[in-house]
Every structure is written in C-alpha cells, then in structure tokens.
Amino acid sequence: MGEVSRARSYQVSAIVLRQRDLGEADRIVILLTRERGKLSVVAKGVKRARSKLAPALQLFTHAHLQLARGRSLEVVTQAQAVAAFPRLRSDVERYACASYTAELADAMIEEGASCEWVFDLVESTLAALDDGGDMASLVRGFELKLLTGLGYGPELERCVECGVEVGDRAGGFSAVEGGVICPRCARGGAPISEAALAGLRGLLRLPQSDLGGKKLKESVRQELERLMRRFVDYRVERELRSAAFLPK
Ligand SMILES: [Zn+2]
C-alpha cells in the first residue's frame, strides 16, 4: 500500500456510474475512478436542495472528488465537476447510450481493481456522446474496446475453430465460441458480411474520439447491433437492463 492509501483523505478523478438512496438525505454513489477503479462512496446530504456536493455527483458527471476514510465506505467531502455532460441527461437516446456504457463498465469491472485505461475509455465515450457523436459507432466501439482490453473481446482475425486467418471474408461469427469462423468450419452459424467484419475491425482500431464522426451504413449498423448484442450478453452472462432502451 502506498502513501495515498494511508492518508485520511485523498483525491480522485471520478465518473458517476450509478447511485442509490441511503436514508432520507444521503446516497451511495458508485464511482469509476481513475486512481482506484470502481468504488462505492457515501455522499451525505446530497439529496437536500442546497447540497454543495449534488451538482458534481449527478449521473455520468466527471468530477474531482475528495474522499475521506469512513467506517466502512469512503465519504465524499468535496466535489467539483470537471465535465457535466448535460446532454446525456436531457436527450432520451443519449441518456440510454450513456446508461448502457455505465452499466457495462459496472458489470465488467470489479470493485477496487484500478485501471486507468477503462476510466479514459468511459470518459471519452461519454464526452463524444455528449458532443453529439454517432451513437451506434460509439456504443459498438465501447463494447469492443472494453471487452478486448479486459481479455474478453471477439477474435476478428483467425478462425476460432481451426486458427486459419480469415482475411476479408469470414464464414460466420459465433458469440459462444468468441469470434469469426472460416468458411470451411462454418456450419449454420450466424453469417457475417464483409462490410460488418471490416466495421468491427475499424471500430476496435479507431479511438473513441474519432468514432463520433463515423456513421455506419444502415445495414451494417443493424448487423453489428444483432451480432454484438448476442456477443456481449454471452460474455457478461446476464442481460443488461439498459440494453433494451438503446436507440434502434
Ligand atoms: Zn476454420
């Protein structure tokens, strides 16, 4: 344990993933922090009208927080918003995309596991969604980058059955087996078009900040939505509640 963890209070960069009420005035806030990964903290009095903490602790907000050691959970003592992302709370479709981003990160990340790249990925996805970026490209890009970075991403280059490189044309894509299947091994699995495979590779390769400006062809968008829905549900091992509200 370093110096930071022995201190009575310390600062973090955080994004609010989720919150729930605690008694009449307080909330438990589930944060994704850059320094300490996922963290549940107590925000006292945050439901009161004049709470100084409340503006920086709204859902999806990126904030600098000071946390103090509590008896069980840390307590927020100061909060300053870095980016409020207001459009994510006022636009229904963008709210749904942001909720899904937060829920998938929440489902895949263990409490306390620190990973700066996950924080940066979530932050850049929310920022681009707030900025009016293409929702389908950003959501698919987020799924691919998060799962791939954690070691659960789809295999997009080699057949998951025989290991041969599939090149531009795969015979199929299997959510259960975890990626592309070559034409020789494909037997009645879900097909994948050349454009969809190229789309997946592009969404994984390009940074999120570039994806906001990329609009997928409608047929490719629909194909990737079906394919990635099955793939993500299989990896998460449960259905994500917010997935049902994503824009169609
Ligand atoms: Zn094969």
Residue-level pLDDT at 2: 46
Residue 70 has pLDDT above 90, yes or no: no
- Which pLDDT tens digit goes with each residue over 118-174? 999 999 999 999 999 999 999 999 999 999 999 999 999 999 999 999 999 999 999
Q: Are residues 72 and 108 in the same domain?
A: no
Q: Are residues 125 and 77 in the same domain?
A: no
Ligand 1 centroid – CA 193 distance (Å): 16
Ligand 1 centroid – CA 207 distance (Å): 30
At which of 53, 83, 113 does a domain end? 83
Q: Are residues 72 and 154 in the same domain?
A: no
At which of 30, 59, 83 does a domain end? 83
Ligand 1 centroid – CA 158 distance (Å): 8
Ligand 1 centroid – CA 104 distance (Å): 30
Instruction: Work out how many domains the chain is built from and give that number.
Output: 2
Q: Do 47 and 120 contact (CB within 8 A), yes or no?
A: no
Residue-level pLDDT at 113: 77
What's 163's domain CATH number? 1.20.1440.120
Q: Are residues 123 and 216 in the same domain?
A: yes
Ligand 1 centroid – CA 194 distance (Å): 16
Ligand 1 centroid – CA 189 distance (Å): 12
Confidence of residue 188 (pLDDT cuts 50, 70, 90): low
Residue-level pLDDT at 11: 96
Q: Are residues 60 and 14 in the same domain?
A: yes
Residue 181 has pLDDT above 90, yes or no: yes
Q: Are residues 49 and 106 in the same domain?
A: no
Q: Are residues 214 and 111 in the same domain?
A: yes
Q: Are residues 57 and 99 in the same domain?
A: no
Rounded Cα distance, 183 and 98, in Å: 37
Ligand 1 centroid – CA 151 distance (Å): 21
Residue-level pLDDT at 71: 83
Q: Are residues 127 and 78 in the same domain?
A: no
25-34, 81-90, 144-153, 179-188: lowest mean pLDDT where? 179-188
Q: Are residues 108 and 202 in the same domain?
A: yes
At which of 49, 83, 117 does a domain end? 83
Reduced to 3 states (helix: H, G, I; strand: E, B; else coil), residue 85 is coil
Ligand 1 centroid – CA 159 distance (Å): 5
Ligand 1 centroid – CA 152 distance (Å): 20
Ligand 1 centroid – CA 156 distance (Å): 12
Rounded Cα distance, 232 and 235, in Å: 5
Ligand 1 centroid – CA 197 distance (Å): 16
- Which pLDDT tens digit goes with each residue over 206-239? 999 999 999 999 999 999 999 999 999 999 988 8
Ligand 1 centroid – CA 182 distance (Å): 4
Q: Are residues 48 and 120 in the same domain?
A: no
Residue-level pLDDT at 1: 44
**Residue range of the domain that includes 66:** 3-83
What's the DSSP call for residue 158? Answer: B
Ligand 1 centroid – CA 228 distance (Å): 21
Ligand 1 centroid – CA 229 distance (Å): 23
Residue-level pLDDT at 7: 67
| DSSP-assigned letters across all residues of 195-220 | HHHHHHHHHHHS-HHHHTT----HHH
Ligand 1 centroid – CA 183 distance (Å): 7
Q: Do 84 and 55 contact (CB within 8 A), yes or no?
A: yes
Q: Are residues 202 and 110 in the same domain?
A: yes
Ligand 1 centroid – CA 143 distance (Å): 25
Percent of the chain exceeding pLDDT 70 equals: 96
What's 61's domain CATH number? 2.40.50.140
Angle between the N-to-C axes of helices 194-205 and 218-236, in degrees from 0 to 180, rounded to the nearest 10: 70
